[in-house]
Structure 1
Amino acid sequence: MAKIIVLGAGVMGSAFAQLLADTGNQVFLVGTHLDQDIIDSVRADGTHPKLKVKLPENVRAFSYTQLEDIVDQHVRLIVFGVNSAGVDWAVARIGPLLKPQVPILMLTKGLAVQGHSLKILPQAVKEGLTQYGLSGIPLAAVGGPCIAGELAARRQSSVVIACPDTALLEWLLNLVDAPYYHARGSTDLMGVEVCAALKNFYTLAVGYASGQLEQRGKAPNGALMHNLAAGLFTQALAEIHYFVKILGGQIDSVFGLAGAGDLYVTCQAGRNGRMGKLLGTGLLYREAKSKHMPDDTIEGAELALVIGRTLKQLIDKGAIAQKAVPLTESIVEAVCDNQPLLIPWDRFYSKSKT
């Protein structure tokens, strides 16, 4: 039985805590300053109010103010289950307490900007920890199609765990070996994390098709807009492929669970797809956010706001080929510049001249 701390008591962090408990571990679920209602509920009767499940008895709930009391020499793993905006906060809380060589497993998805370059979140975490005298902390990440509610219901789920350290990777795969959780291993941390970050971003565009359908309605013959959604999905994969390639990841990750698999499941339901649908009806981003989703974190839009300016600069400098990322530019313009989301079909496919 390993002692594991999961930092972040939201739906994914808590669902993953349940998984770790099911495989026989002692799990300390630590809520952020935003999670106190969840922590109080789990302490009272074990019920997670958002997942609507009762967590196992070997999941114990704590406030972040109690971290100093539970981080000790027996901790074998730290899991980051905060959202992307909370990563710096998590590093600041765990950095002064973390013991050297205790690995961190990232559930958090996103990209960070450093200077004029893009970094995956494990890189940002590793660099942040150096402020606390911690160098060489092993980092790994979970990617792939895994909706928190389904994981909490113990539905069959397939994921990929990425870690350059093959010994640690093997240990992590054994750690999460539950009958309903099927984890594949990969050493491609860069590729898996780029895919995991960008799937939310591009789901905004795929969701656009649902908004167009709502606005225009079914055709007289009953036809919907599956063709439109599929075309946008394919373009999204093409642009993920491009970013994985230029950032140094492995192309296989794009067409596996981390890329195509995760993009598919993210497009089926969730906040990013709902925002994309609103944009597809013709609403501008700021109006859609303030009127329809004021209390929701839209991960894809948050990523656009974080990296949008840098992407424009890299395109202007020629470091990113503009012709390779037309859908990316449209999403950035829609979110960062509050412009209508327009689909640049004429830039998606090269057409032979006759």
Structure 2
Amino acid sequence: MSALSILGAGGWGTALAVGAARRGQDVILWARRPELVAELTQTRMNTDYLPGVPLPEALRFTSDLAEAVDGADFALVVVPSVGVPELLEGLPRKLGVVLCAKGLAPDGGQLSTLARQMGFTRVAVLSGPNLASEIGRGLPAATVVASSDQALALAVQSALMSPALRVYTSSDEVGVELGGVLKNVMALAAGLVDGLELGDNAKSALITRGLREMRRYLLALGAQEDTVYGLSGLGDLFATATSPLSRNRSAGEAIARGQQPGHGGQVVEGLRTAGLLDAWATAHGHDLPIVRAVARVASGAWTLETGITSLMERDAKAEEQG
């Protein structure tokens, strides 16, 4: 049996690698920087991205992409969305690719669509309420792998399933992928609420209306409604909008307090995604008010006060009207 290939040694990629290696699986973790590979090999710790989690001795590391996927049936692509196109360029097209980034392609489309346009025929997406530090510590969690290729989805499920991680399969690739994308923006909004100390009522309302906005977007793109309320929709939204471990929520809080979002070189996907989603909504005539407010506050086009006003002074309507 070939090694499980995981491409990307950030927090999430490392957590997935640790979990699979603990289960006794042969795992190879690829990192772009040779110096990071040397550090991981020598210290058996990823102090920058997953501190406090020992790396199993059986876990192997490389910065050679060809070595990382040699003999692999599929690879987990666990790099920030902005780096996915370049990484895919270097992979053999016969390889199955499992996209784990919760972001959009450069044109604002789905990364899975981009992968197919580049010639990959076996494509899956992985998403859910998956805070890397908790999964790295072996705390119980669940995730979803979605693909139109059922054999690929089942293979990923078998590779990652463990007593600490339940892996569900889905045929709703659109819903699973885009749910993970949109919840990042909602988590940023929740962080803004926290940073401004607007209270629990405001945060609860924001999350609830954010879920409604996610539903509107996902259904417009062809997702199944059940997926909106599943692990990659409501589940991921709840985790990232409420947890202090959430990178996007923390970034929103930092912005509200006049601080620089992000730390340690870690990518805050929601900051880039918000602008792309706002542009999509404007171009297609869809009403995504929370997305619009977050995008324009994050870009500096609006003040925080303008963003709040834009949400609180919208026209009165019945709740079911959206």
| TM-score relative to the length of structure 2 | 0.88
Q: Identity rate of aligned residues, in percent?
A: 26
For the residue of structure 2 that corresponds to 1:16, the secondary structure is helix
Establish whether residue 206 from structure 1 lines up as the match of residue 190 from structure 2: yes
Identify the match of residue 112 of structure 1 among 74, 85, 105: 105
Q: Alpha-carbon deviation of 1:347?
A: 2.7
Establish whether residue 346 from structure 1 lines up as the match of residue 313 from structure 2: yes
Q: Provide the C-alpha distance between the structure 1 equivalents of 2:176 and 2:18, rounded to a whole number of angstroms.
A: 23
The match for 1:79 is: 76
Q: Alpha-carbon deviation of 1:99?
A: 5.5
The match for 1:336 is: 299
Matches within 5 A, 1:273-284: 273-281=249-257, 283=258
Amino acid at match of 1:47: M
Establish whether residue 42 from structure 1 lines up as the match of residue 18 from structure 2: no
Matches within 5 A, 1:98-247: 98=92, 100=94, 102-114=95-107, 118-127=108-117, 129-130=118-119, 135-136=120-121, 138-213=122-197, 225-247=199-221
Structure 1 unaligned blocks of 5 or more = 217-224
**Contact 2:227–2:233 (8 Å) recurs in 1:** yes
Q: Provide the C-alpha distance between the structure 2 equivalents of 1:99 and 1:274, rounded to a whole number of angstroms.
A: 37
User: How many pairs are equivalent?
Assistant: 311
Establish whether residue 89 from structure 1 lines up as the match of residue 50 from structure 2: no
Q: Provide the C-alpha distance between the structure 1 equivalents of 2:19 and 2:316, rounded to a whole number of angstroms.
A: 43
Structure 1 residues 111 and 148, CA gap change in structure 2 (3 angstroms): same
The match for 1:219 is: none
Structure 1 residues 67 and 295, CA gap change in structure 2 (3 angstroms): closer
The match for 2:268 is: 298
Q: Provide the C-alpha distance between the structure 2 equivalents of 1:208 and 1:31, rounded to a whole number of angstroms.
A: 33
The match for 2:31 is: 31
**Contact 1:173–1:185 (8 Å) recurs in 2:** yes
Identify the match of residue 229 of structure 2 among 251, 255, 258: 255
Which aligned segments of 4 or more residues in structure 1 are displaced greater than 6 angstroms? none
Establish whether residue 56 from structure 1 lines up as the match of residue 56 from structure 2: yes
Q: Provide the C-alpha distance between the structure 2 equivalents of 1:37 and 1:274, rounded to a whole number of angstroms.
A: 28
Structure 2 unaligned blocks of 5 or more = none
For the residue of structure 2 that corresponds to 1:184, the secondary structure is strand
**Contact 2:274–2:291 (8 Å) recurs in 1:** no
Q: Provide the C-alpha distance between the structure 2 equivalents of 1:349 and 1:144, rounded to a whole number of angstroms.
A: 34
Q: Alpha-carbon deviation of 1:348?
A: 7.6
Establish whether residue 21 from structure 1 lines up as the match of residue 18 from structure 2: no
Structure 1 residues 21 and 333, CA gap change in structure 2 (3 angstroms): same
Query: What is the CA deviation profile of residues 221-253 of structure 1, one whole-angstrom value per residue up to 9, with x for unaligned ones?
Result: xxxx11110000011101100110111111111
What is the root-mean-square deviation of aligned Cα atoms in Å?
2.3
